[in-house]
Chains A and B, each alone.
Chain A
Amino acid sequence: MTVDASRGAPPGTLRNSSAELVQLLTPEGERVEHPDYPLELTADEIRDLYRDLVIVRRIDFEAVALTRQGELGIWASLLGQEAAQIGSGRALRDQDMVFPTYREHAVAWCCGVEPIKLLGLYRGVNHAGWDPKEHNFHLYTIVIGAQTLHAAGYAMGIQRDGAVGTESGAATIAYFGDGATSQGDVNESFVWASVFNAPVVFFCQNNQWAISEPLEKQSRIPLYRRAQGFGFPGIRVDGNDVFACLAVTRKALDSARDGQGPTLIEAFTYRMGAHTTTDDPTRYRLEAELEAWKLKDPIERVKAYLVKNEMADSAFFDDVDAEAKQVGMDVRKQCLELPDPGPMSIFDHVYAEPHALISEEQEQFAAYLAGFADAADGTDGAGRADEEGNAS
């Protein structure tokens, strides 16, 4: 039995097509123009983007440290993907709706979700600590790809509300990874969005890896080109260029809100950290690759641009660093203060309306726990729970 392993994607097409990439800011911090993506930013706006990038990296850094110290069970780091997330996140309007994976901490930041709320899931005190309606930022979705269909359906709702093609038009944005593009759900969401011309932006962060599997295990063509087969435009953007991510996402969102249907954006970036804190990337990838991507750091290039254009002085950079440090310390403090859920919380919110079985189990468990309290009081603890765990 033989399999021709050499029949992968032709070298270069998947990982190195810089010609196809929309870039507005080079890794060296040089501004470049692109005919389809004019972008006017004030010095203030650029400084704000820089501040965002630095702060979210710091939050992420703190969360990784908290995990190492056993305060979080696990963490999915966004290191290296800050520009993709801040650029796209800052392109959103209040009325737009975000459908994230588990790694969109910087998009959450753009939507005003307090950083501490992201930690609950990873600490194991809840499954999600925020109200999606409050921030138009949906729950983190761990099951790969599932949220892309939710984004398509939500967008169909926007259409039915008549909120497309108007001044206050709305859109959804679905985040997912390169690995996710193999899932049936993601491909189905492409079909749905396309057939219904739904206002969805599919924002794929191609960070080159799905845990240990390189992009070649998912695709033989650059991911953005998949869109063509589904009947909508696909664009590859330099995912480490916050300007380009902002401009490209803005245009795609405008087009969706305007009734022009979906766009697939492939943000070409790199997962600088491990998949999660439990992963060991030395088992499957080379240090040299990481070194090459370090030169394309999303933050350094904005800093270089600000310095070159005399838009910021060292006092500004010091202030941002100090602010980021403070945010990090606040997150740490709040994390340590997160209350553990009580045992009876297990029964909360399983159903929106009363449910006999839940009530019954809840009562049984309360009685069971009370048995221990009685025993500790020195009273009779022998008759623990009556029917605990017994559905009779």
Chain B
Amino acid sequence: MTTETLTLAKALGAGLRKAMEDDPKVLIMGEDVGKLGGVFRVTDGLQKDFGESRVIDTPLAESGIVGTAVGLALRGYRPVCEIQFDGFVFPAVDQIISQLAKMHMRSLGAIQLPVVVRIPCGGGIGAVEHHSESPEVHFAHAAGLRVVACSNPADAYTMIQQSIRSADPVIFFEPKRRYWDKAPVEMDLAAAPPLHQAVVARPGDDVTVLAYGPMVKTCLEAAAADDERSLEVIDLRSINPLDIETIMASVRKTGRCVVAHEAPVFGGFGAELAARITERCFYHLEAPVLRVGGFSTPYPPSRVEEQYLPNLDRILDAVDRTFGW
């Protein structure tokens, strides 16, 4: 067992590097991923060490990036595509949803497309529009894609490697405002939980708090700040497939559940969680599953984003309400 202390961005870079060392078929492609190392420097140094044919600065076209990744995968490669910001994945959505997601089934299983699409997501960095969105639910809703979201450096390192090894396409969300967070990273992949397993990030007894990606840290802070109740925070890590067992075990114990994500509440992933928990834990619930998230508006200008983003207080407010039912 060896550990290194890394930022989340550096941990991702280390994971990508390891995957490229382990498998010569792994390619990196995207805008500015080469010499610049990506706008968040996640791929820093990879082109220098692996060359321009494995770390590809692509033309500026997201549909092209994912569409050619599909072609490369058909030819036996394992492309890892970087989408520069969440709001710029939409030009690629046709290739992702109509092609990447469905080709395995259309080929009656003859074709596998081990493509990873990395998307920095979420707000909180004071950016201009299209740079702070949380589009996970579009992909969670598209059968054929696996959708995961890391929340910390240790998971970033392991989950990116597991995603690259997956035989299916994986949409990989990275919490951009946590890129600079540092933590010890266990470099031995064997010690990691499976990609699609949720983990209890902080055990507790009174209420289950579900989150993924950037909101995990916020929920952990909320749990630490609440001295009256004991919050059990679960980091889903994977939203499709969903590890419902871990969730059920917790909710059956606590009887209360709050879901938090940055994406709008209406039609958000929390709706799926609330429905599933209600179906499976109905007689254990003391209150409805409550959701905390963004409003049903476009992401606002950055000077009000702190009002838009769920924060510690809004999470604890929802926790309070589960006790007032």
Contacts and interface: CB of A to CB of B under 8 A. Distances in A.
Interface of A: 1-3, 5, 73-74, 102, 120-127, 142-144, 179-180, 182-185, 210-213, 217-218, 278-279, 283-284, 340-343, 345-347, 350, 357-358, 361, 365, 368, 384-385, 388-392
A74 B128 CA distance: 8
Contact of A389 (B34, B90, B318, B320): B318
A121 B293 CA distance: 24
A143 B36 contact: no
Interface string B38-63: 01000000000000111001111101
B304 interface: yes
7 contacts: A211-B31, A213-B31, A213-B60, A218-B59, A283-B36, A341-B304, A389-B314
Contacts of A368: 314, 317
| For the complex of A and B, 10 pairs with smallest distance between CB atoms | A124-B302, A212-B36, A3-B53, A182-B59, A179-B60, A343-B307, A124-B303, A389-B292, A284-B35, A182-B61
Contacts of A217: 57-59
B290 interface: yes
B301 A127 contact: yes
B203 to A, nearest CB: 25
B128 A124 contact: yes
B291 A350 contact: no
Given A142-B130, A346-B300, A185 B91 contact: yes
A120 to B, nearest CB: 8
A347 B308 CA distance: 10
Contacts of A342: 304
A61 B60 CA distance: 28
A213 B126 CA distance: 25
A213 B300 contact: no
Interface in B252-302: 265-266, 271, 288, 290-293, 295-298, 300-302
B127 A74 contact: yes
Contacts, number: 146
Interface in B79-106: 87-88, 90-91
B91 A121 contact: no
Contacts of B53: 1-3, 5
Contacts of A179: 59-60
B64 interface: yes
B129 interface: yes
Contacts of B90: 143
Nearest to B53: A3
B182 to A, nearest CB: 21
Contacts of A346: 295, 297, 300, 304, 307-308
Nearest to B297: A350
B297 A142 contact: no
A384 B60 contact: no
B317 A384 contact: yes
A12 to B, nearest CB: 21
A170 B303 CA distance: 38
A2 B54 CA distance: 9
B303 A183 contact: no
Given A1-B53, A143-B87, A350-B298, A210 B304 contact: no
Nearest to B94: A184
B60 A180 contact: yes
B31 A343 contact: no
Contacts of A182: 59-61, 64
B301 A124 contact: yes
A144 B53 CA distance: 25
B8 to A, nearest CB: 18
Given A341-B301, A385-B317, A183 B288 contact: no
A212 B314 contact: no
B307 A211 contact: no
Nearest to B37: A283
Contacts of B292: 388-390
Contacts of B291: 389-391
Given A74-B127, A211-B39, A283-B35, A144 B304 contact: no
Nearest to A358: B296
B15 interface: no
A142 B128 contact: yes
Contacts of A211: 31-32, 36, 39
B266 A357 contact: yes
B133 to A, nearest CB: 12
B310 interface: yes
Contacts of A350: 296-298
B193 interface: no
A73 B321 CA distance: 36
Nearest to B318: A389
Nearest to A347: B297
B129 to A, nearest CB: 5
A211 B317 CA distance: 43
B36 A389 contact: no
B234 to A, nearest CB: 19
Contacts of B71: none
Nearest to A281: B36
A10 B281 CA distance: 67
Contacts of A127: 128-129, 298, 301
Contacts of A102: 128
Given A182-B64, A346-B297, A73 B302 contact: yes
- Looking at A185, A279, A384, which has the most chain B CB atoms within 10 Å of its CB? A384
A347 B321 CA distance: 24
A348 to B, nearest CB: 9
B24 interface: yes
Contacts of B126: 73, 124
A126 B303 CA distance: 8
Contacts of A1: 24, 53-54
A122 B128 contact: yes
Given A384-B317, A389-B310, A213 B32 contact: yes
Contacts of B302: 73, 124
